[in-house]
Amino acid sequence: MKYRPLGNTGIRVSEVGFGSWQLGNRKDWGGMNDDQAIKLVHEAINQGCNFFDTAPNYGLGKSEELLGKALVSKRDQVIINTKFGHHSNNTQNFDVSLLRRFDIIA
């Protein structure tokens, strides 16, 4: 796997990212169960992928839930990119007051 800098953050991410739309999204992706989804995330990490993309509306929130479960003991190995403003109830609201603050611990 090749890696590139993420802007000027000093963080390096895999050139191939993992779009997690399919995790828990039975409507568009069929019958993937939770164990299969978690196994898929683990295999991506084993192949060198460290960049995961998600959003609250992927699978009505199920994608983020499964990604969280898959990364319990691996969180320090990956970078997660999530979107803002697209909610699990399929609405859009970009009000800045809805942002949560996350402190990054280096």
Residues classed as catalytic: 58
Q: Is the dihedral of CA 20, 21, 24, 30 positive or negative?
A: negative
Reading the block at residue 67, the tokens are 């990604």
How far apart are the C-alpha atoms of 85 and 66, rounded to whole Å?
A: 20
Side-chain-side CA neighbours of residue 72 (13 Å): 6
